[in-house]
Structure formats: structure tokens, C-alpha cells
């Protein structure tokens, strides 16, 4: 999951880690099968396996996806609208490149 430290990401990671079975719509669940990344370090009690990765920097992101044979990605990375409003052009570019990177892997 990208954007795992955001409000939605944290809640979703928690739910995926609680599940102890495979889901045909989601894939393998349980804490040992949930890999997360963000551009900020998580809180100490973060569930799942965390990687400090910027999804727009595709080489490191690609390596994590490949090395762990990740087959389902929740792309939750985003710039908050309050932050983005003052930098629309830069924010849109980062959002788009992050989505392209997540989609390619």
C-alpha cells in the first residue's frame, strides 16, 4: 500500500492485517503479507511491513514490489488538498507520476 501513513491508509492497513485469510478480491491478508510504504516514517505501532519509499521514485518502489511478489496494490498516496491548493501544478504532477508508477508495477 502506498500512502500508508495517511488517514485512510492507516485504517486500511489495520483491517488488512487483522484478516488472517486470503481474499479473492484483495489477495493475501494478515500482517506478514501486508507491505506498506510512505515518504514519512510511521508511528511505532504501525502494522505490516513498512518501507520508506517515495512512489514517484519508481526504482526503489519497483524493487519492493518485485522482491515481495506483490500482486495487489492499494494506491493511497496523495497530497492533502489544503497543501496542494497553493501548489496546484507541482501537486498534480506528483499525483500523476505516483499513480503511473503504482500502475506499472
50-95 confidence digits (pLDDT tens)? 999 888 877 888 899 999 988 888 888 776 655 544 554 454 455 5
This prediction has a pTM of 0.68
Domain coordinates of the chain in residue numbers?
A: 7-104
Average pLDDT over residues 31-55: 87
Rg (CA), the chain: 14
Phi/psi for 23 (5° steps) reads -125, 125
Per DSSP, 50 falls in state: E
pLDDT at position 1: 87
| CATH code of the region 7-104 | 3.40.50.720
H-assigned helices in the chain = 7-18, 58-67, 81-84, 88-104
Q: Tell how far CA 63 is from the center of its chain.
A: 14
What pLDDT, on the 0 to 100 scale, is given for residue 99?
53
Question: How far is it, in rounded angstroms, from Cα 49 to Cα 32?
Answer: 7
Please tell me whether residue 71 adopts helix, strand or coil conformation.
coil
Q: Which residue has the higher pLDDT, 105 or 10?
A: 10
> For residues 104 and 99, what is the distance between their CA atoms, to the nearest angstrom?
9
Average pLDDT, the chain: 76
pLDDT the model gives residue 50: 92
Amino acid at each position: 500500500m502506498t500512502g500508508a501513513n495517511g488517514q485512510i491508509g492507516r485504517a486500511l492497513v489495520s483491517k488488512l492485517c487483522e484478516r488472517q485469510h486470503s481474499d479473492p478480491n484483495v489477495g493475501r491478508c494478515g500482517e506478514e503479507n501486508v507491505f506498506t510504504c510512505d515518504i514519512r516514517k510511521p508511528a511505532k505501532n504501525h502494522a505490516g511491513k513498512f518501507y520508506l519509499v517515495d512512489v514517484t521514485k519508481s526504482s526503489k518502489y519497483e524493487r519492493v514490489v518485485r522482491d515481495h511478489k506483490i500482486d495487489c496494490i492499494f494506491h493511497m498516496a496523495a497530497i492533502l488538498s489544503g497543501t496542494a491548493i497553493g501548489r496546484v501544478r507541482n501537486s498534480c504532477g506528483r499525483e500523476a507520476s505516483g499513480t503511473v508508477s503504482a500502475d506499472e508495477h
